[in-house]
Chains A and B, each alone.
Chain A
Amino acid sequence: GAGVSQSPSNKVTEKGKDVELRCDPISGHTALYWYRQSLGQGLEFLIYFQGNSAPDKSGLPSDRFSAERTGGSVSTLTIQRTQQEDSAVYLCASSGWGYTDTQYFGPGTRLTVL
């Protein structure tokens, strides 16, 4: 595709519900990243995939967060039992071959937990 796409663009959910966020990277990009942006924490890195594997998951905020990538393309970020502090904009990025390469960002998913 022309750029990184994310869906949904907005998600409002109730505390305690599970949510799934989707990212479609630029076609052919092997590396994929998730970040989140919130007023209190700024932009923070969550997880990086090289192909389908994530070498380090320590950036995920809690064990309620998980991410997977299948077929070296689409990735989903799942948040279980959402809390109000999970409210943020979740951004996905992709790059051609790895973290020393230019990262291109998607438009983000704005998550609001009521």
Chain B
Amino acid sequence: GIQVEQSPPDLILQEGANSTLRCNFSDSVNNLQWFHQNPWGQLINLFYIPSGTKQNGRLSATTVATERYSLLYISSSQTTDSGVYFCAVSAMYSGGGADGLTFGKGTHLIIQP
């Protein structure tokens, strides 16, 4: 099946700093989503971005499908940005397989005041 690798696994920053999270995937995708899992475990949708660039406030994301990677940018970090960020993909050619999202292991982000 498709492989998803996220980096870095852990990131500690001061409030106000900027960060870039990376997601590499091993095959063509027809779905790529970024999620933020808050301390209560809720997965919050950040972006649906199988290709292209999107921005939402302090967050933006870019997926370069031909090179099989996606980047999530967080600017002017706040303590409420802390949590785990997941990249998840659905393979374009699943061979009749599962049809769900395959998740990376996540980036654990801690923003210190």
Contacts and interface: CB of A to CB of B under 8 A. Distances in A.
A108 to B, nearest CB: 6
Q: Which of B30, B96, B98 has the most CB of A within 10 A?
A: B98
A35 interface: yes
A100 interface: yes
Interface in B13-47: 30-31, 33, 35, 40-43, 45
Contacts of A56: 96-99
Interface residues of A, number: 27
A91 interface: yes
A47 to B, nearest CB: 8
Interface residues of B, number: 24
A99 B100 CA distance: 6
Contacts of B31: 99-101, 103
Contact of A89 (B41, B100, B101, B102): B41
A42 B105 contact: yes
Given A43-B103, A99-B90, A103-B33, A58 B41 contact: no
9 contacts: A33-B100, A42-B105, A48-B100, A58-B98, A100-B90, A102-B48, A105-B35, A107-B40, A110-B41
